[in-house]
Amino acid sequence: MTAERRPLRILAVASGKGGVGKSTLSANLAIALHRLGIKVGLVDADIYGPSQARLMGSEDQKPVARDKKLSPVSGVMDIPMLSMAHLVEPGKALAWRGPMVSGALGQLIDADWGDTEWLVVDLPPGTGDIQLSMVQKHKPAGAVIVSTPQDLALIDATRAVSLFAQAGVPMVGLVENMSGYACPHCGEISDPFGQGGAQATAQDLAMPFLGRIPLAIDIRRRSDAGDPPAAGEGPHADAFRAIAQKVADWAKAN
């Protein structure tokens, strides 16, 4: 007797502001969830500025369509994934209006994901057409918000929380990214973006705080090379794994 396939659930990863490391967090979170035994896929929903193909080492792959549905390509650790970077020429700008963007998002999410249980969707920054299409048409099961500790980023992160709250999307929690920099020469810790702001904001908003990811050259270097640190071992992999475990615990409870 064939086991019944579980319905695909969407985990939206969002930020109100660009440049906070949301895409890097999304890629590493997907990998860490995979390593916890969760059947996870990854969608790069940043139609205008896709980056997941580079982060997941799949830039040279092209998806094929079967029965009018795209088949995902394989990223790091064979995680199924899709990005507009797999569908357009490298470096080509997309001058698309809202309806075309929403249609493209639908093609990525409604692909043939097989036995994938959770789909991590890396949203672009802000609260525009793509975010509205996501909450209205695709109904995420939960949302993870990413911010640096600085006040300006947290103001925009609060707006992102508000968007999902208005749409009735549960908050999985808030991640503080680029939190503390360890000098590779002397080991001294500095806080170029401050520290603790995201945790304080999470407390103010009565939502879970999922943890901190440091500002580290190794995270940037390995992610740029298509080998995210969550795929290996060490303190940075442990930081992503700790956040993924909290997300997994939330998923089991919901």
In a domain, 202, yes or no: yes
In a domain, 6, yes or no: no
In the chain, how many domains are there? 1
Q: What pTM, to 2 d.p., does this model score?
A: 0.90
The per-residue pLDDT for 196 is: 67
The per-residue pLDDT for 85 is: 81
The per-residue pLDDT for 150 is: 72
Containing structural domain, residue 149: 12-253
pLDDT at residue 153 greater than cutoff 60: yes
In a domain, 115, yes or no: yes
pLDDT at residue 117 greater than cutoff 80: yes
In a domain, 26, yes or no: yes
- The per-residue pLDDT of the chain, averaged, comes to 85
CATH of the domain at 206: 3.40.50.300
In a domain, 176, yes or no: yes
Q: pLDDT of 197-214, one tens digit each?
A: 778 888 888 899 999 998
Average pLDDT over residues 173-190: 75
Query: What is the residue type of 85?
Result: A
In a domain, 7, yes or no: no
pLDDT at residue 232 greater than cutoff 50: yes
pLDDT at residue 155 greater than cutoff 50: yes
In a domain, 179, yes or no: yes
Separation between Cα atoms, residue 110 and residue 116, nearest integer Å: 12
In a domain, 136, yes or no: yes
Q: Give the single-character DSSP code of 40.
A: E
Average pLDDT over residues 131-142: 86
pLDDT at residue 151 greater than cutoff 50: yes
Whole-number percent of the chain with pLDDT over 70: 85
pLDDT at residue 176 greater than cutoff 50: yes
